[in-house]
Amino acid sequence: MVGLLGHGVSIFDTAEKFGKDTDLLITDMDMADAMADCLAKSDIVLMRGHGATLCGRALPEAVYRAIYAELSAQILIQAASFGNFTALTAGECAATVKRISPQIGRAWDLWVREVERR
C-alpha cells in the first residue's frame, strides 16, 4: 500500500506564492490552480502547516488512498527511526499500485457496511 507514497509526494506551501500571511487554506481559484499544479505531479500533496490533499479517479479510491497514505506514512516514519532502510523502486511502486487498485472496492464495501451498522 505504500507504493502510492513511493511515487513522490508533492509539497504545497502557500507562502511561496501567496505570502507569509495566509491562513494556509485554499480560498480562491488562484490558490486552487497552484495546488492543482502540484496534483498534476503526484496524487498526494502535503500542505505545509495544514495537512494533505489526495485525489482518486472515484470516491472509493480517494478514501482508500487517504486512509492508507496516513497508515503508510506512519509506518515509513517508524522504519526510518530504525536507521537506513531500502525504499521501494519506481517499478515496485507501480507494481504494488497495480496489484492493489482492483481490491479497493472490497475495502470500500466493508467501510460502507461498517457505517451503515452505526
Q: What is the pLDDT averaged over residues 20-44? A: 90
At residue 112, φ and ψ (nearest 5 deg) are: -65, -45
Q: What is the pLDDT averaged over residues 8-26? A: 90
Q: What is the pLDDT averaged over residues 90-99? A: 90
- Which domain range does residue 64 map to? 3-117
Q: What is the CATH number of the domain that holds 60?
A: 3.40.225.10
| pLDDT for 76 | 82
- pTM to 2 decimals? 0.80
Complete DSSP assignment for 57-101: SSHHHHHHHHHHHHHHHHHHHHHHHTS---PPPHHHHHHHHHHHG
DSSP 20: T
The three three-digit cell numbers of residue 76, written as one number: 515509513
